[in-house]
A and B are shown apart, each in its own frame.
Chain A
Amino acid sequence: SQTIHQWPATLVQPVGSPLSLECTVEGTSNPNLYWYRQAAGRGLQLLFYSVGIGQISSEVPQNLSASRPQDRQFILSSKKLLLSDSGFYLCAWRGRDDTQYFGPGTRLTVL
């Protein structure tokens, strides 16, 4: 069966520091992968998606970037965090049944 992992689970970082969040999927190959942010409140904002290694589509121009160095690995990065980058970051993969399945999330607090 397929599983999706995200780490770290929680992170507290100072403004101006770098960021690296990792997402990995097991049990499938060549999945579409997605990064979402959920700000306080509730709405989901799609940040990036990837259909293959090295292929990244950016949905919202901002302080973040994404990379896909391996088939089942998706990384979200920033060179310098802003206060507004705080939120709950969710990674998802799309199965062959066209359903997106979500990871457990990373809670990021920027101070």
Chain B
Amino acid sequence: AQSVAQPEDQVNVAEGNPLTVKCTYSVSGNPYLFWYVQYPNRGLQFLLKYITGDNLVKGSYGFEAEFNKSQTSFHLKKPSALVSDSALYFCAVRGLENGNNRLAFGKGNQVVVIP
């Protein structure tokens, strides 16, 4: 079974400081990995994904994530956080077993960027 762990409920960071949101996964075979962001009362917005290729993936709004196969991690990072980055962040994984049409989502991390 595929699963995602986002160990921290909330991440607080000062504006201008680096932001990291942690994600580890469990899946059979090679994973497809995704990050989404959700603002209050909105749907999830796609930020970036890893399917194959370069382990460092760059996405929207200055975010990037690094795929680490040995540590089964896919942490989301931003070099300099903005107040507008305050939101709920979800990591998701899809295994590549046949007929798998589902994503497994983590519980989400609330990011609070302090002015």
Binding site for B on A (CB under 8 A): 6, 32, 42-44, 46, 49, 51, 57, 59, 88, 90, 92, 94, 98-105, 107
Across the interface, which residues of A come within 8 angstroms of B92, CB to CB?
A: 100
Which residues of B approach A to under 8 Å, CB–CB? 32, 34, 36, 41-46, 49, 51, 88, 90, 92, 94, 101-103, 105, 107-108, 110
Least Cβ–Cβ distance between B17 and chain A, in angstroms: 24
Chain A at the B interface: SS class: strand
**CB-CB under 8 A for A49 and B102, given A99-B46, A105-B43:** yes
Within the complex, what minimum Cβ distance (angstroms) separates A96 from chain B? 12
Asked whether B105 lies within 8 Å of A32 as measured between CB atoms, the reply is: no
Contact across chains for B105 and A105 when beta carbons are under 8 A apart = no
Tell whether A46 pairs with B46 under 8 Å between CB atoms, given A98-B51, A98-B94, A105-B41: no
The CA of A51 and the CA of B49, in the complex, are separated in Å by 22
Are A42 and B51 neighbours in the complex by a CB distance under 8 Å?
Answer: no
A46 touches B102 (CB 8 A): yes
For residue A4, give the distance in angstroms from its CB to the closest CB of chain B.
Answer: 8
Q: Which residue of A lies closest to B90 (CB)?
A: A44
